[in-house]
Homo-oligomer: A and B are copies of this chain.
């Protein structure tokens, strides 16, 4: 369990800053706690803070005109969020929802501005973080445009495994409460199709399912599906 300053100092946004900067960040940060299903902020709201997840899991979502929701991504401790609103717009382009009890640091736009002024390396760090996320989203965009559902679902699960996977006996457990609906909104399909797809994989022994729970028994099998290789 890293200390707060360690977490702040090693996250992608603030890596490489002098200890004085990290100390300032720690001093300026507010810490808040959010229960499961609580919205930290919602899409369209004026940005009142730059955030960083301290503990727990949350998801960034986006609404469609017809009421449909999509999941932009899940976050783990150390991940910054709300940065786009601070950098580019005055408003959050996504909503942030706790998928389990969470704690998050937040900094006011004024504090962020002052710190960026003092430690300009934050600028390049932000650009790097944005670039990495952009790369992932471009990739997912391509998948959504060109691949079948099963392929996309397999990829999504493998990504989640890399991000939050925990080795347990029998395989790798996705270490967050992940409903079929969540997976559907992450991959651009419906909860029905997700249910059918996962059930089939369970038949084949690739995964083991539970309520809001996915255990990967054969990562290799999922890779075969994700890459559309002959089994």
A residues 125-166 in Cβ contact with B at 8 Å: 125-128, 130-135, 137-147
Q: Mark A177-188, 1 if CB is under 8 A from B, else 0.
A: 000000001001
Q: Establish whether residues A135 and B93, one from each chain, have CB atoms under 8 Å apart when the complex forms.
A: yes
Listed residue (A87, A140, A142, A145) with the most chain B CB atoms within 10 angstroms of its CB: A145
B141/A84 in contact, CB under 8 A: no
A98, CB-defined interface residue at 8 Å: no
A70's partner among B87, B141, B185, B228 (CB-CB below 8 A) is B141
Main secondary structure of the interface of A (DSSP, over half): helix
Does A231 count as interface, using CB distance less than 8 angstroms? Answer: no
Chain B residues near A228: list those with CB within 8 A. 65-66
Complex Cα distance A70/B122, Å? 33
Minimum CB distance partner of A189 in chain B:
B145
A231 CB → nearest B CB, Å: 16
Are A138 and B227 neighbours in the complex by a CB distance under 8 Å?
A: no
Confirm or deny: A94 has a beta carbon within 8 angstroms of a beta carbon on chain B: yes
Partner of A124, one of B126, B131, B135, B137: B126
Contact B138 A94 (CB under 8 A): yes
Q: B89 touching A147 by the CB < 8 A rule?
A: no
Which chain B residues border A84 with CB–CB below 8 Å?
A: 131, 134-135
Residues of B within 8 A of A144 (CB): 141, 144-145, 188
Q: Are A134 and B134 in contact (CB under 8 A)?
A: yes
Contacts A68-B146, A120-B120, A123-B123; A93 near B130 (Cβ below 8 A): no
Number of residues of chain A lying within 8 A (CB) of chain B: 45
Asked whether A134 lies within 8 Å of B130 as measured between CB atoms, the reply is yes
Query: Is there contact, CB below 8 Å, between B131 and A83?
Result: yes
Cβ of A88 within 8 Å of any chain B Cβ, yes or no, is yes
Contacts of A146 in B (CB 8 A): 64, 66, 68, 70, 188
Per-position binary interface string of chain A over residues 64-92, scored 1 when its CB falls under 8 Å from any chain B CB and 0 otherwise:
11101010100000000001100111000
Give every chain B residue within 8 A of A125 (Cβ-Cβ).
Answer: 123
| Other-chain residue from B64, B121, B133 in contact with A142 (beta carbon distance below 8 A) | B64
The docked-state distance in angstroms from the alpha carbon of A93 to that of B142 is: 12
